[in-house]
Amino acid sequence: MYEGSMAMTATEPTPTPPAPPVPLTALLARRDLGLRLLAGPEDVPIHWVHTSEMADPYPYLLGGELLMTAGVLLADPAHYVARVVEAGAAALAFGVTPVYDTVPAELVEACARHGLPLVEVPPRTPFTAVARALWRLMAEARLHELRRVTEAQQSLAAAAARPAPVPAVLGALASRLGGRAALFAADGTESAAAGREVPAEAARALRDLVGVLGPRPGGPASASGDGGGLRLAAYALGGGDGLTLGVATERRGPGDHTVAGVAVVLLSLLTAPHRGADAAVRDGALVRLLLGAAPPEIAETLGAGPWTVVHAAGGDGTPFAAASLAAALGTPLVDVGEAGGGTGRADAVEAGGGRRDGTPVTVRLLLPASTPVTEQPGWTLGIAAPAAADELAAADAQAARALRRAEAVRAPLVRHRPGGLAALVDPDEAAAHARALLGPLTEPLGETLRTWLSLHGSWDRTAVALEVHRNTVRQRIARCAALLDRDLDDPDVRMELWFALGSR
């Protein structure tokens, strides 16, 4: 009945969960599970779910999880609950039968004494059903967050295109977060604000928080805290003039930091000093890109270029880190999301892609080709060849491939390199030869062969680059050798195939 094992392996810890937490009430509301709360509060957030029959599960818990057990080794309920609480578990689920017919009274008393929610799992409900329900609720919460952040990004970008963009962006931000957004000058005075008024105590606390950032070079880029019964956050803008964004809200939602990060980037763009007419025109085109315009639609406004598309992976999982990267490279507009190929938009991907679990995010940047791009601490960069405004889609794909190669070879920066010896051969003849030579290969065999050759035949690094198992790589390469009837250990064969793949 129960899917939990008598022995378990510790899960690799991560600092925060990969998806928004789910309140215990949402699980209790699932009538198909038949769960019943016996002790403790019902409004606790659940970040994980885990099954263990260890007598002392403390060493194996991350904190914030719903711990499920059938009590196989439950000898001392009071000590067991104390250890579970000490480990930081959010709640305890106890499955009745086959070990116990009812939840032990001592366990109920101990959970009530410690304030640990205790949930009874009926015999008809396997632990896997509870876990599956939790993951589905988390997926729904994540989807809701992505939609909310995407809508907020569009609203902020539209506000940035209005005649009075700074107040409009502040107003849109305050509306989306349900609080107050204010812009503070370098001396700490409030220069612009929007949204509801806040108590005097909260206003003072927000000014103090803004003062923590200040105009000091190398200082913190953001700070958060509480004051006057409100949740406070401050973000230094990237314009170089000491401006800071302050936000005060009643609560802090999972996507609020992402929404604020988008506002920071736009406000940095709008308040940057010494902006010429050409820069203003370019920024207007970039805002249109952010709103969804295809590169050909804004090519005339953006200018012929050339432009450079950069894909970067790294940071701390927040779009504010991406904004800092943009400021370091001298471009005002950045968007955050998942990696994975060109979209036809050089700087825009899914707005809600910024993760909250501390893992790297992937960002796309668009900047003039004359701007030098160097290694950035904490980031891996893939850089496309310079391209005109109507060629940004192809450049976007080049940058994505360069980033994948940089990650595969663990290099901090890889540039797309066109030309070389292949440029000495007539492109049409080379393409015809490539079609004939590589005709037997279908995808994903062709891409696997290209990646494997680019990584000098390394099974492990190819598996990492393609996100497949190394045995899958071996099988695909063996299939390529059979279909092509070539010895892939022969360096001449490898060279010919490499040029053919490039020509294709």
Round to the nearest angstrom and report the end-to-end CA distance of the chain. 55
pLDDT at position 304, please? 59
CB-count burial class (<10 Å; 0-12, 13-18, 19+) for 80: buried
Q: What is the mean pLDDT of residues 281-309?
A: 62
* Helix or strand (DSSP H, E) at 309: strand 307-314
CB-count burial class (<10 Å; 0-12, 13-18, 19+) for 45: middle
Distance between CA atoms of 174 and 167, rounded to whole angstroms? 10
Which of the pair, 43 or 397, is modelled with greater confidence? 43
Q: What is the mean pLDDT of residues 188-216?
A: 83
Return all residues near 232 (Cβ < 8 A) that are at least 6 apart.
202, 205, 206, 209, 224, 225, 226, 246, 247, 248
Q: Is the pLDDT of residue 67 over 50?
A: yes
pLDDT at position 13, please? 39
Q: Is the pLDDT of residue 449 over 80?
A: yes
Distance between CA atoms of 353 and 167, rounded to whole angstroms? 26
pLDDT at position 326, please? 64
Contact predicate 137/109, CB 8 Å: no
> For 325-377, what is each residue's pLDDT tens digit?
665 666 654 454 443 333 333 333 333 333 334 445 677 787 778 778 888 77
Peptide bond into 306 cis (omega under 30): yes
pLDDT at position 345, please? 31
User: Residue 503: pLDDT band by 50, 70, 90 thresholds?
Assistant: confident
Q: What is the mean pLDDT of residues 50-64?
A: 91
C-alpha distances in Å from residue 260, one per residue of 57, 263, 284, 318, 319: 39, 5, 20, 10, 9
Q: Is the pLDDT of residue 30 over 70?
A: yes
pLDDT at position 366, please? 78
162-274 belongs to which CATH class? Answer: alpha beta
Which of the pair, 313 or 82, is modelled with greater confidence? 82
> For 457-498, what is each residue's pLDDT tens digit?
889 889 888 888 988 899 999 999 989 888 888 888 888 888
Return all residues near 66 (Cβ < 8 A) that are at least 6 apart.
24, 27, 46, 48, 49, 50, 89, 90, 91, 92, 93, 119, 130, 134
User: Residue 198: pLDDT band by 50, 70, 90 thresholds?
Assistant: confident
Which of the pair, 422 or 37, is modelled with greater confidence? 37
* Helix or strand (DSSP H, E) at 194: strand 190-195
Q: Is the pLDDT of residue 17 over 80?
A: no
List for the chain the helix, strand, coil content (%; round to 5).
Answer: 45, 15, 40
pLDDT at position 386, please? 87
Distance between CA atoms of 234 and 79, rounded to whole angstroms? 43
C-alpha distances in Å from residue 197, one per residue of 123, 241, 292: 53, 26, 34
User: Which residues pair with residue 362 across a beta bridge?
Assistant: 313, 337
Q: How many residues does the chain have?
A: 504
Nearest to 323 by CA among 286, 359, 351, 365: 365
Radius of gyration of the chain (CA): 27
Its pTM stands at 0.49
Contact predicate 315/365, CB 8 Å: no
Helices (H) and strands (E) in the chain, counts: 16, 17
Token pair belonging to 70: 């059938």
> For 224-254, what is each residue's pLDDT tens digit?
888 888 889 888 886 556 788 889 998 877 7
pLDDT at position 264, please? 83
Contact predicate 400/340, CB 8 Å: yes
Q: How far is CA 254 from the centre of its chain?
A: 12
Distance between CA atoms of 477 and 466, rounded to whole angstroms? 13
Distance between CA atoms of 138 and 144, rounded to whole angstroms? 10
| Domain formed by 22-137, architecture | 3-Layer(aba) Sandwich (3.40)
Domain locations in the chain as residue ranges = 22-137, 162-274, 275-418, 421-503
> For 93-142, what is each residue's pLDDT tens digit?
999 988 999 999 999 999 999 999 999 999 999 999 999 999 899 888 88
| Average pLDDT along the chain | 78
> For 367-376, what is each residue's pLDDT tens digit?
778 778 888 7
Looking at the chain, the whole-number percentage of residues with pLDDT higher than 70 is 76
Q: Is the pLDDT of residue 39 over 90?
A: yes
Q: Render 391-446 in DSSP notation, one character per residue.
A: GHHHHHHHHHHHHHHHHHHT-SEEE----GGGGGS-HHHHHHHHHHHHTT--TTHH
Which of the pair, 363 or 196, is modelled with greater confidence? 196
Is 421-503 assigned to CATH 1.10.10.2840? yes
Q: Render 104-143 in DSSP notation, one character per residue.
A: -HHHHHHHHHHT--EEEEPTTS-HHHHHHHHHHHHHHHHH
Q: Render 329-346 in DSSP notation, one character per residue.
A: HT-S-EEEE---S--S-S
User: Per residue, what are the HEC states of 354-388?
Assistant: CCCCCCCEEEEEEEECCCCCCCCCCEEEEECCCEC
pLDDT at position 68, please? 95
User: Which residues pair with residue 226 across a beta bridge?
Assistant: 231
Identical fold, 162-274 and 421-503: no
Distance between CA atoms of 411 and 83, rounded to whole angstroms? 44
